[in-house]
Structure 1
Amino acid sequence: MKTRHWDRRGDGGLTFTELGFGTAPLGNLYRAITNEEAAAVLDAAWQYGIRYFDTAPLYGLGLAERRVGRFLATKQREDFVVSTKVGRLLKVCRPEQRTGIGKFFDTPNRREVFDYSYDGIMQSFEASFERTGLDSFDILFVHDLDVFNHGTPAACDHYVEQFMSGGYQAMTSLRDQGVVKAIGGGINEWQMCQTLAERGDFDLFLLAGRYTLLEQEALESFLPLCVARNIGIVLGGPYNSGILATGPVAGAQYNYSDAPSHILDKVRRIEHVCLKYNVALSDAALNFPLFHPAVVSVIPGGQSINQVASNERARNTHIPHELWEDLKSLGLMRGDAPVGES
């Protein structure tokens, strides 16, 4: 597995495998799996050489953190990079009040409470230690500080101010003390990533689904800013929550909902170009983000050994340069999107 080294602060930095592992599926996302199945998936990822694992309290309401922590406890600490997220506290509740009904299955009865204050960040961080059983995290991301999760720009602005006046100080303090090596945001919108990058001193952003084969608006201003400041990008959701893996089939998912007709049409046209070069759409989608110099790892996740194997095979698939040029000439990809090895 190829690696990429990131060292923004001159303290040795972190070495990422180009393929990381996003653990939301291990939180019983969309369907329940057993602890044994989760452990087998993690073991397959390790055997394929994956050494970067990202998790969060939200994923299965603590379930993913427990599963990944149990697995990583069997490894030497210096052999992997791990990140978790803050911004939500999990509170015990009645079953009908549980967060994620219909999305996460067979999870603890917990409801999320957004809290981006100083104390809220510290409480979340400590709770993640307890769930994982780990003694340290490499990266701490503030989670879902975006309009997508908070509903309106006004609500999002409220939490941004709460974070910048409190939680941000908690995260920088943890970094200054060497408790974590890097801080950043795990966010669904590049615009909000840019807002945070302009207001604070952040090291990495986990950008979910906003720099993919399907959409590259982040090239407007955010990704150039990251290159200028040596801010690393972990790219989550390279398949845009499904459609770039399944293709434009009936029920294809885009942003965790049924894909609208204009998205289906664009993906259909992209897939047509891929097939011209005998390349699977999913293979092109996984490889594309890694051409950008700011990207340190792509984390597609997986809920089965076959999915992990498919991601590893896709990364090792050669994509003809002419494929990217055709997509650009047809207006299916931005002309300024990097498509050569950095």
Structure 2
Amino acid sequence: MRLRKIQKTSVSLTELGFGASVIGNLYRVTPAADAAAALDTAWDAGIRYFDTAPHYGLGLSEQRLGAALRHRPRDEYVISSKVGRLLVPNQEPRGVDTEGFVVRDDLRRQWDFSRDGVLRSIEDTLERTGLDRLDIVYLHDPDDHWRQAALEAMPTLADLRDQGVIGAIGAGMNQSAMLARFLRETAADMVMLAGRYSLLDQSALDDVLPAAQEHGKSVVAVGVFNSGLLSQDRPTEGMKYDYQDAPPELIARAQAIADVCEQHGTTLPAAAIAFPHTHPSIINVTLGMRTPEQVGRNVELHGQYIPDGLWDDLRAQGLIRSDVLMGHGGGRDERCL
């Protein structure tokens, strides 16, 4: 699996990454054996970038990921986690977490983008994973905390990066406008862009992607299925878009894109994974994977050949924006795993 370098750093990512939110019991229980088998399958397929966060399952995702990676050669993989939500004792537990994860709520999340909060969060993550270091650290959803995130948290991460403790730093969000500010106004090397550069939403072309190109920084794309609407060959009613029921007009548009994919001998989910890679600043697509079967399917989809004519036809039919860029830019690492 091809590696691509985070610009201006020494860190390289496989083009496909393993998103570990779902093995933190997102929406439903994932048995420990399934999570371990999924991670083993990803490793065997050549995936070497793994992303997690304290938020995911109140630490469960970090624990499971650490258990799977700790016996692997440390220099052969890249792991990222996030700061901004400290896990603290919950004085009023109700039994189950209320933020989408099926886990006990003995802990609760506490927003904290202070210097002390960042350092404590990283220390806690290292303890939960059992690893000696993190390669990438992102600020996690700082939407309502710009000032503290930009003026305290990011400089703290920059200090750790400059000391060689962390390889790269950035921010991850579901919006693109503030991510563009992080690229332009802070020491961030990269951002994790959720859902804003997909076959159904190219709004990142208005802010974060031009900022990345202008400043020579990198982007990791997540949420490329837009919560599920792009995950099947044929979209149907009842599928989700950005965590809600997809409106009829978006279902119709996804079906139209699926028709064009079929004409070019490919499928909607394969095109959804391939599409972000066409932008020169996007170096990785990370997908949530719960089982070995999901890993195998995603790896197969990622490996499918997508003809350039597909993008041309989608633009010509007004199904993607006419200003969509094509072709990788700088940062490619020709090594393959």
TM-score class normalised by the smaller sequence? over 0.9
Offset at residue 221 of structure 1 (A): 3.1
**Is 1:189 aligned to residue 175 of structure 2?**
yes
| Alignment-derived partner of residue 272 in structure 1 | 259
**Is 1:104 aligned to residue 101 of structure 2?**
yes
Distance 1:97 1:177 in 2: 41
Offset at residue 38 of structure 1 (A): 0.6
| Alignment-derived partner of residue 274 in structure 2 | 287
3-state secondary structure, aligned to 1:111: strand
Offset at residue 239 of structure 1 (A): 0.7
Contact 1:144 1:187 in 2 (8 A): yes
| Alignment-derived partner of residue 62 in structure 1 | 59
Contact 2:97 2:103 in 1 (8 A): no
- 1:200-239 to 2 correspondences below 5 Å: 200-239=186-225
Unaligned runs of 5+ in 2: 330-337
Contact 2:21 2:61 in 1 (8 A): yes
In structure 1, give the amino acid aligned to 2:208: F
- 1:1-342 to 2 correspondences below 5 Å: 1-9=1-9, 13-93=10-90, 94-96=92-94, 99-101=97-99, 103-146=100-143, 156=144, 159-246=145-232, 247-340=234-327
Distance 1:131 1:100 in 2: 21
Deviates more, 1:222-231 or 1:176-185: 222-231
Contact 1:288 1:339 in 2 (8 A): no
Task: Spell out, residue by residue over 1:78-132, the C-alpha distance to the aligned partner (whole angstroms, 9 max, x if none).
Answer: 000110000001122243275435x211345322111111111111111111111
3-state secondary structure, aligned to 1:16: strand
Contact 1:39 1:71 in 2 (8 A): yes
Higher helix fraction: Structure 1 or Structure 2? 1
In structure 2, give the amino acid aligned to 1:2: R
Contact 1:28 1:107 in 2 (8 A): no
In structure 2, the CA distance between the partners of 1:99 and 1:113, relative to structure 1 (3 Å rule), is farther
In structure 2, give the amino acid aligned to 1:241: S
In structure 2, the CA distance between the partners of 1:43 and 1:107, relative to structure 1 (3 Å rule), is farther
Offset at residue 168 of structure 1 (A): 2.1
Count of aligned pairs between the two proteins: 327
3-state secondary structure, aligned to 2:35: helix
Distance 1:89 1:111 in 2: 8
Contact 2:260 2:310 in 1 (8 A): yes
Distance 1:281 1:7 in 2: 30
In structure 2, give the amino acid aligned to 1:100: T
Contact 2:86 2:121 in 1 (8 A): yes
In structure 1, give the amino acid aligned to 2:285: V
| Alignment-derived partner of residue 334 in structure 2 | none
3-state secondary structure, aligned to 2:123: helix
| Alignment-derived partner of residue 149 in structure 1 | none
Offset at residue 249 of structure 1 (A): 1.6
In structure 2, the CA distance between the partners of 1:341 and 1:229, relative to structure 1 (3 Å rule), is closer
Contact 1:141 1:186 in 2 (8 A): yes
In structure 2, the CA distance between the partners of 1:96 and 1:310, relative to structure 1 (3 Å rule), is same
Contact 2:280 2:327 in 1 (8 A): no
Distance 2:131 2:310 in 1: 44
3-state secondary structure, aligned to 1:300: strand
TM-score, scaled relative to structure 2? 0.93
CA RMSD of aligned residues (A): 1.6
Task: Spell out, residue by residue over 1:15-39, the C-alpha distance to the aligned partner (whole angstroms, 9 max, x if none).
Answer: 2111011100110112101211111
Contact 1:6 1:14 in 2 (8 A): yes
Offset at residue 198 of structure 1 (A): 2.3
Offset at residue 258 of structure 1 (A): 1.2
Q: Which has the higher contact order (CA 8 A, sep 6+)?
A: 2
Deviates more, 1:23-32 or 1:263-272: 263-272
- Percent identical among aligned pairs is 40
Offset at residue 307 of structure 1 (A): 1.0
Offset at residue 333 of structure 1 (A): 0.7
